[in-house]
Amino acid sequence: MNDFLPKEVQEGLKAARRASIKRNDKLCVHDGDDVYRIKRIWDDGLSLGAEHGDKLRGRVEIYDGARHLYQCLIVNSRREGDEYIFDFKWLNPVTNRPAADFVRPDAIPAGLITKASA
């Protein structure tokens, strides 16, 4: 698709991509009223800047800007260089719909076709 865009637009897209990579992600940890910017995140942990110290304990919320992504339980922290590493006991995604007390089928029809009356 990029082959059909003018060269100026392609260069603008590349510049925007580079700027978004340089700019920190919008991922942050909310611990009550305190908000900390996440430097890195992986399957069983995350890292914050050393200026925040090892203040995180217990259940915290992870956001991407205003969008609530995860809840996690932080059980351990350690300092490595210029960042603090925090380990999760669990990390659960937050859903935007209520929990169901039944098994939802994989294929849900978009609508029902009724019988034609003869």
d(CA 76, CA 10): 45
Q: Quick: pLDDT tens for 72-96.
A: 999 988 999 899 999 999 999 888 8
- pLDDT reported for residue 25: 64
Mean pLDDT, all residues of the chain: 82
Q: Quick: pLDDT tens for 45-67.
A: 999 988 877 778 899 999 988 88
d(CA 80, CA 84): 6
Mean of pLDDT values over 20-47? 80
CATH top class, domain 25-93: mainly beta
In this predicted structure, the answer to whether residue 118 has a pLDDT above a threshold of 70 is no
In this predicted structure, the answer to whether residue 24 has a pLDDT above a threshold of 60 is no
- pLDDT reported for residue 5: 80
Backbone torsions φ then ψ of 55, nearest 5 degrees:
-80, -20
- pLDDT reported for residue 21: 47
Give the single-character DSSP code of 82: T
- pLDDT reported for residue 61: 93
